[in-house]
Structure 1
Amino acid sequence: MTTTDLNPAGPAAPIRTFHPRRGRMSDRQTDALERLWPAYGIDIADLDGPVDPTAFFGRRAPVVLEIGSGMGDATAAMATADPDRDYLAVEVHTPGLANLLDVVDRHRLGNVRIARGDALDLVRALPEGSLDAVHVFFPDPWPKSRHHKRRLIQPSHVALLRSRLALGGTLHCATDWAEYAESMRETLAADPGLVDAHDGFAPRPAHRPVTKFERRALTAGRPIFDLIHHRHP
C-alpha cells in the first residue's frame, strides 16, 4: 500500500505507506508470476489516464478494491464466495502477488485481477463512484509517532477512497493495532461523506476470512478491530 503524496520537507520525496519488499519466492511462485501475470496482472505505474475498473475483467459487475492483499488467501476466499462481484487486489510484496496468481489459476477465479504498485495511484486513476467496496485489512500500523504520516487511513486518503465508492458503497478496515484502530475510528467518523454502520467498532463480519496473520495476532493476545462505513450523499 502506498501513497505518492509529497513530503513538505522535500518536494521530490514521496511519503509511502508501505515497505517495498520483494522477498524470496518458491519455484511455483516464480512460475506463476512469469506465466500468469500477462493474463491477470496490472502494473499501476503503466496506467495512463482515467481507468474504468470493469475494463480489467471483461464484464460489468460491482468491483471490490482490496488494498494490501498480502499472500492473497483472503482475497481468493472472498472472490470464490462472491462470484457476482469482481475483486481487484493491490499488493507490493512480490511473493504475495505470485501466490495469489497461483491460487487464481488453480481455482479458475475469473473475478480476480492483481495490481502491483501504489494503491493510491490506482485509486486516483479510477472514476468517482466506480467501486462497490474498498477493503483495507491489516495495513502497516506505522507505530512510531514520527511515522504516523505514512499511515494509509488518514483524512486525505479516506476522502479519496470515499470519493471512488458508489453511493451506499462500503469502506471496511481492520487492524490488530489498538492505537491505530482508535485513530482509524476517529478519522472515519470525521469524514462527512461516510456513515458508520455500527456506531463504532463492528462485530467481526463472517465474510472476512481469518488469515494466518490474524491468527498470529490472536495467538499473541492482540484483539482485532473492524470498522465498516458506507458512503452517503
Structure 2
Amino acid sequence: MQENNEKNQEILDMPADSGAEQAQHGHPLHKVLSFVRRSGRLDARLQRAWDNYAADYLLDVNAGEGSLDVREGFVLDGDYVRSIWGNANPLIVEIGSGQGENVVAAAQANPDVNFLALEVYDPGVAHTLLLAGKNGLGNLRVAQVNAPELFKVMADGVAAEVWTFFPDPWPKKKHHKRRIVQPELAGQVRRALADGGVWRIATDIEDYALHVHEVMDGLDGWENAGGVTVSLPVEHVGKGNADMAADMPHADFAESERFAGRVLTNFEKKGLAAGRVIHDFTYRKA
C-alpha cells in the first residue's frame, strides 16, 4: 500500500529491467515487483502480536522462510477455503492490506463473509494479526505473499470480490511498470472471481487513476460499473512534473461512488486533508 511506501523513506530508484533487457545483458531473469523488500525489526508490541497470533491467522503458503512466493503444489480452491475458514461463505481478498484497519473492520461488520488479507511488509502483517487477535475474528486470515503469485494458484471462481485500496503509486514515470494494476494481474483476478464478482480499486493519486483506466477500461471480460463522471488528464506525469497535469488535455471517465464498505482510515483522512481527490473504481467480471 501507498501508506507503507510513505513510511519508508528509502525506495528503489532504479527500475527493474524487463526480462528481455536482462537477458540481453546476461543477467538472470526476475519479476518486476510492485514493492521493494525492506528489512526492519518489529517493535516489542508487534513482535508479541506475531508470536501470539501468527499460528491462528497467518497462512502457511510460502515457498520457504523469507520467501514471498507460493510453495509448489499449493492451490487456493474451495476445499482449501473450507478447511481453513470452516465454511463455504463468500471470500473477499484484499491486495495490500497495509496496517489491516480496513480488512479488520470489514471482517467485523460481515461475520458471514471470509476475508483474506495479502500483505508483504512485516509491520503491516503484524499489525493486522494484532487487530484480528484483539477482536477475536474467526473469518479473517493473512498471507504474506506476492499477490500476483498467489492469484496464479487460485482456482477459478473462488473469490467473490478483490479489493486493492491505495496501492503504492510509484510516482516516477520510469517506475510505472511496478504499479500493481496490470493486464496480467487483471487476467488472473478475473479468472479467480466468481461470475459477477468485482475488483474494487481506490487511489488518491490522479495519475494512478489514469493508469487504472488505461489498463482496465478496454480489457476483455471486464465491465466498468462506475456511474460517476470524472475528468482526468489524458497524459501521464511523474513525480517531478505532476503540477503540469492541470494544463494538459482532459477527458471524461466513469468511476464509482465511494465504496461504503471501506472504512475511512487515518491514511485516507490525510489524503483528503491534503486536498487530494479519492478515485473509486468498480470493475465487474463480465
Distance in structure 2 (CA, Å) of the matches to 1:43 and 1:188? 32
Q: Which amino acid aligns with 1:42?
A: L
- The one of 205, 222, 226 aligned to 2:280: 226
User: Is 1:69 aligned to residue 97 of structure 2?
Assistant: yes
Conserved 8 A contact 1:23-1:93: no
- 1:212 matched to 2:266: yes
Work out the number of aligned pairs and report it. 230
Q: Cα distance, 1:22 vs. partner?
A: 4.3
What is the distance in 2 between the residues matched to 1:70 and 1:43?
19
Q: Which has the larger radius of gyration?
A: 2
Q: CA RMSD in A?
A: 1.9
- What amino acid is the match of 1:64? I
Aligned equivalent of 2:217, options 179, 189, 197: 189
- Larger RCO, structure (CA 8 Å, separation 6 or more): 1
- The answer to which structure has the higher strand fraction is 1
Deviations for 1:190-217, whole angstroms, at most 9, x for unmatched residues?
Answer: 1111111115111112211111211111
Instruction: Give the match's secondary structure for 1:172.
Output: strand
Cα deviation code 1:64-94 (max 9, x no counterpart): 0100000001110011111111110010111
Tell me which residue corresponds to 1:9. 21
Alignment partner for residue 72 of structure 2, among 34, 44, 48? 48
Q: Tell me which amino acid in the other structure corresponds to 1:212.
A: N
Moved more, 25-34 or 38-47: 38-47
Cα deviation, residue 62, structure 1: 0.7
What is the TM-score with the length of structure 1 in the denominator?
A: 0.92
- The offset of 1:14, in angstroms, is 2.0
2: distance between equivalents of 1:205 and 1:113? 22
Question: Quick one: distance in 2 between partners of 1:153 and 1:195?
Answer: 16
Unaligned runs of 5+ in 1: none
Asked whether the equivalents of residues 195 and 230 of structure 1 are also in contact (C-alpha less than 8 Å), the reply is yes
Structure 1 pair 44/9, CA: closer, same or farther in 2 (3 Å)? farther
Structure 2: give runs of 5+ residues left out of the alignment: 2-16, 23-27, 64-70, 228-253
Report what 2:250 is aligned to.
none
TM-score with structure 2 setting the length = 0.76
Could you tell me how far apart the structure 2 residues matched to 1:77 and 1:22 are? Answer: 28
- Of the three residues 46, 70, 81, the one matched with 1:29 is 46
- Aligned 8 A contact 1:43 1:116 in 2: no
Whether 1:155 and 2:150 are equivalent positions in the alignment is no
Check the 8 A contact 1:69/1:89 in 2, yes or no: yes
Alpha-carbon distance, 1:56 to partner: 2.7
